[in-house]
């Protein structure tokens, strides 16, 4: 109240408030403490003045401050505070978050109550600047005028075009802030919101005659308006420009096709007398043509159609499961891993509780690759059994294990289990998975002997394979940090895989990497390898780790305690995987491939250590073979190829000339054989 009346200077007599109908305490404060006349305090019902998250959850009464804009703004039907109309404009809302609504509808007091305040800053600006809407303020109008001028139209001459200009101005401002905060277009989370806003704005551009990318041109207008208060927008101006332009170009390629398909679908709906597009068709537009659901909904609603959104969600669920299977197949070095990851939770679901009752598995693989342990359970053919014999395939659960179970992109360990008391027990472990929190399943094939529950055994990880995996995993952390240094802090991991053969890293970025960028990334990673940086791990709370600057994966669920992997002063990430003790043990890092795997998502595949060396030797052998065949030194291959291409092009031209001459000669030869019969020239072949 003091802010509105003393700082902003709103006349007290123009301010009104609303309260919840039964909220006598708020009435007493407004009337007796603030001194507001009773006639300007309006009691409203639950629909207007009782705020809630949803059917259940935190909620409470609220009180709102309105300003009277004058009788000239009143609607013909009349109205008042809380009633539809333009005379009374809500500026501030105070929600007294004090209850939790239960499933049965009852209200229970929250243990920690608070006041949630919402203040319309742009509405305040519109009142102070004496304009009708937020879009006429100096926060939006310069953007609207710029876009309108470039489109060759005028604002406030056509309602449909005015709506398009407002949507574009609102969305381009949001895009600038989101990108300056490091968000890039993607198909999930915040990146999806960014993509949806950009594509919606781009589509509205067609309403005002834009058929080419145009949003990127408006970004500097937003930045100039906001740079004093938000200097990060100015610092990131070039990247903002590049991200928007790249995404506009990408969407432009499919927009016209998508709209044509949607027009055909609308025609089919009219013909079949239906009012809703199937979820499958909406998902196809999303998955194939990059149409966000919200954009499809907008276009359909213009003609009175809707979407079967539950069906769409189901199609999305199926696609995510399909992608998950493909991702797992790509990360695994054996078919067993993919099968087990997808199937073990389902297959062992009935036995999970029994398995947990027998005890959880203690993982000690960070410090040891060999440990004496005891068998606590065996499952075979989806059933709990007491023993397994030679030739059997089963899952073995141990009291403690050095085997790392597949998680966080790192493949599960392989190795062997032998007996402490018998020399004739040989068990091959082909994969390690986690069917449930605290349980580690060793996928086993009994090569020799018999194993029983409660047997004492020796579990030993394949050390050479573990080291190869660790090389790739530690290199992945270096790559992540280097990508952020070279390309920008907007780079975020969107997937990774580390096995004993190679590493794969997926990340958000708006453009393909140039050869210069790839070379720089490769060189910087190898520099950090040569720097012999120490790799350390520590257990910390999640909040403390974030304070330290540790990188966490967006969307990943973390417990209260997290493991932090620190590589010198260069990299700090939350990670549960196995790593080297020093970057020097990576040996060598070589990028094999860089490609786009989705809109705004890039993928790098690389090798380390012996495999990197082998790759380089293979390339050198190919180069030497080519140089021998071209009879030149390796550095002379490019100019030699250029010469061969030039010679080939010259030869093609000569051949074309000869063919033309030959054709001309053949024609002359035929004409020389012509005979005239009754006035008609005849050539006999």
pLDDT band at 494 (very low <50, low <70, confident <90, very high): confident
DSSP sequence for 369-421: SEEEEEEEEEEETTEEESEEETT-EEEEEESEE-PPPSBTTBPPP-EEEEESS
| pLDDT at 169 > cutoff 80 | yes
pLDDT band at 333 (very low <50, low <70, confident <90, very high): very low
Domains assigned to the chain: 2-128 (3.30.930.10), 152-316 (no CATH), 336-461 (2.40.30.130), 467-617 (3.30.980.10), 646-685 (no CATH)
| pLDDT at 44 > cutoff 90 | yes
| pLDDT at 47 > cutoff 50 | yes
pLDDT band at 578 (very low <50, low <70, confident <90, very high): very high
pLDDT of residue 347: 58
pLDDT of residue 54: 86
Q: Tell me what percent of the residues of the chain surpass a pLDDT of 70.
A: 93
pLDDT band at 332 (very low <50, low <70, confident <90, very high): very low
State the average pLDDT over residues 215-228.
96
List all residues 6 or more positions away from 84 whose beta carbon is below 8 Å from its beta carbon.
75
Which carries the bigger pLDDT value, residue 547 or residue 534? 534
State the average pLDDT over residues 380-397.
92
d(CA 308, CA 310): 6
pLDDT band at 351 (very low <50, low <70, confident <90, very high): low
Say how many C-beta atoms besides its own lie within 10 A of residue 604's C-beta: 22
d(CA 99, CA 117): 16
pLDDT digits (tens, 9 = 90+) for 470-492: 999 999 999 999 999 999 888 88
pLDDT digits (tens, 9 = 90+) for 399-435: 999 999 999 889 999 999 999 877 789 999 999 998 8
The CA–CA distances, whole Å, from 654 to 7, 229, 640, 665 equal 86, 68, 21, 16
Which carries the bigger pLDDT value, residue 428 or residue 557? 428
pLDDT of residue 39: 93
State the average pLDDT over residues 159-186.
93
| pLDDT at 601 > cutoff 80 | yes
Are 41 and 27 spatial neighbours (Cβ–Cβ below 8 Å)? yes
């Amino acid at each position: 109240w003091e802010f509105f009346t003393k700082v902003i200077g709103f006349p007290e007599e123009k301010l009104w408030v609303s309260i919840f109908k039964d909220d006598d305490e708020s009435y007493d404060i407004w009337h007796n403490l603030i001194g507001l006349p009773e006639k300007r305090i309006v009691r409203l019902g639950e629909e207007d003045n009782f705020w809630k998250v949803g059917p259940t959850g935190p909620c409470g009464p609220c009180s709102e401050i309105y300003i009277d804009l004058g009788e000239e703004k009143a609607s013909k039907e009349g109205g008042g505070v809380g009633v539809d109309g333009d005379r009374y404009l809500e500026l501030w809302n105070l929600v007294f978050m004090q209850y939790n609504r239960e499933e049965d509808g009852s209200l229970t007091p929250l243990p920690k109550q608070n006041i949630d305040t919402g203040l319309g800053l742009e509405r305040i600006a519109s009142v102070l600047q004496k304009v009708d809407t937020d879009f006429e303020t100096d926060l939006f109008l310069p953007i609207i005028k710029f876009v309108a001028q470039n489109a060759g139209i005028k604002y406030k001459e056509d309602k449909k075009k005015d709506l398009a200009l407002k949507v574009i101005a609102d969305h381009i401002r949001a895009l600038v802030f989101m990108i300056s905060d490091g968000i890039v277009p993607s198909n999930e989370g915040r990146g999806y919101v960014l993509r949806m806003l950009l594509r919606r704005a781009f589509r509205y551009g067609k309403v005002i005659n834009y058929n080419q990318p145009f949003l990127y041109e408006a970004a500097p207008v937003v930045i100039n308006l906001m740079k004093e208060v938000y200097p990060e927008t100015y610092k990131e101006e070039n990247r903002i420009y590049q991200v928007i332009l790249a995404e506009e170009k990408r969407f432009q390629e499919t927009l016209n096709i998508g709209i044509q398909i949607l027009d055909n679908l609308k025609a089919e709906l009219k013909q079949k007398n239906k009012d809703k597009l199937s979820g499958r068709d909406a998902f196809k537009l999303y998955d194939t043509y990059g149409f966000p659901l919200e954009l499809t909904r907008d276009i359909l609603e213009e003609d009175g159609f809707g979407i079967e959104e539950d069906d769409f969600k189901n199609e999305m669920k199926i696609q995510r499961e399909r992608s998950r299977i493909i991702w797992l197949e790509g990360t695994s070095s054996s078919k067993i891993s993919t099968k087990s990851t997808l199937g073990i939770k389902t297959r062992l679901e009935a036995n999970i509780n029994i398995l947990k009752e027998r005890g959880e598995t203690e993982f000690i693989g960070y410090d040891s690759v060999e440990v004496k342990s005891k068998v606590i359970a065996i499952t075979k053919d989806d059933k709990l059994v007491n023993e397994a014999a030679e030739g059997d395939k089963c899952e073995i659960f141990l009291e403690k294990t050095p085997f790392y179970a597949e998680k966080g992109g790192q493949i599960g360990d392989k190795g062997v289990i032998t007996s402490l008391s018998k020399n004739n027990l040989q068990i091959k472990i082909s994969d390690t998975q986690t069917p449930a929190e605290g349980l580690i399943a060793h996928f086993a094939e009994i090569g020799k002997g018999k194993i029983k529950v409660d047997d004492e055994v020796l579990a030993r990880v394949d050390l050479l394979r573990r080291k190869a995996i660790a090389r790739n995993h530690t290199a992945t952390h270096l790559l992540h940090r280097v990508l952020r240094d070279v390309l920008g802090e907007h780079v975020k991991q969107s997937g990774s895989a580390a096995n004993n053969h190679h590493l794969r890293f997926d990340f958000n970025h708006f453009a393909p990497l140039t050869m210069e960028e790839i070379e720089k990334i490769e060189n910087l990673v190898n520099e950090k390898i040569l720097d012999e940086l120490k790799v350390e791990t520590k257990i910390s709370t999640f909040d403390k780790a974030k304070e330290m600057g540790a990188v966490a994966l967006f969307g990943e669920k973390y417990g209260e305690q997290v493991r932090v992997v620190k590589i010198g002063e260069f990299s700090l990430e939350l990670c549960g995987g196995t790593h080297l003790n020093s970057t020097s043990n990576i040996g060598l890092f070589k990028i094999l491939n860089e490609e786009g795997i989705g809109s705004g998502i890039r993928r790098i595949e690389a090798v380390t250590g012996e495999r990197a060396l082998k790759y380089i030797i293979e390339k050198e052998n190919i180069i030497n073979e080519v140089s021998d065949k071209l009879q030149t030194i390796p550095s002379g291959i490019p100019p030699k190829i250029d010469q061969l291409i030039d010679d080939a092009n010259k030869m093609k031209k000569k051949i074309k000339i000869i063919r033309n001459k030959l054709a001309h000669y053949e024609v002359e030869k035929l004409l020389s054989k012509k005979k005239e019969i009754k006035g008609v020239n005849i050539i006999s072949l």
